[in-house]
Amino acid sequence: SFVEEMIQAGRIDRETARTLPDKNIITRAVGAEDLLIVDFFRETLTDGDILLLCSDGLTNMLTDQEITRIVFSFRSLEEAADRLIFEANMAGGKDNISVIPINPFDTGRWTV
């Protein structure tokens, strides 16, 4: 998004970005241009890490700290996902809310 590009360039911080009116302006999308530039990230994960794929319907309603607190308050990823959606709706639920928590190691610490 336009705002994410501003964050990456160091022009604003994430907290400021949360309240900007242009935060949902998309600068890249499939089919918009002949050449698609895709972001690719490589992260090192360890046992106990949880991947959370989610829409801006969640991240516009809850801070990163709130999301982390909620996810790690439950032993079940399904319960954590349900609670994230509930809390985002209670905070205003102004957009569709999609949440997919993933346990990449499946060591039994988390259940689905």
Task: Supply the pLDDT for residue 92.
Answer: 92
pTM of the model: 0.75
To the nearest whole number, what is the mean pLDDT of the chain?
87
pLDDT for 21-65, tens place per residue? 877 788 888 888 888 888 888 999 998 889 999 998 999 899 999
Read off the pLDDT band of 95 (50, 70, 90): confident
In terms of C-beta distances under 8 Å and separation of at least 24 residues, what long-range contacts does 42-48 make, across chains too?
45/104, 45/105, 47/105, 47/107, 47/109, 48/105, 48/109
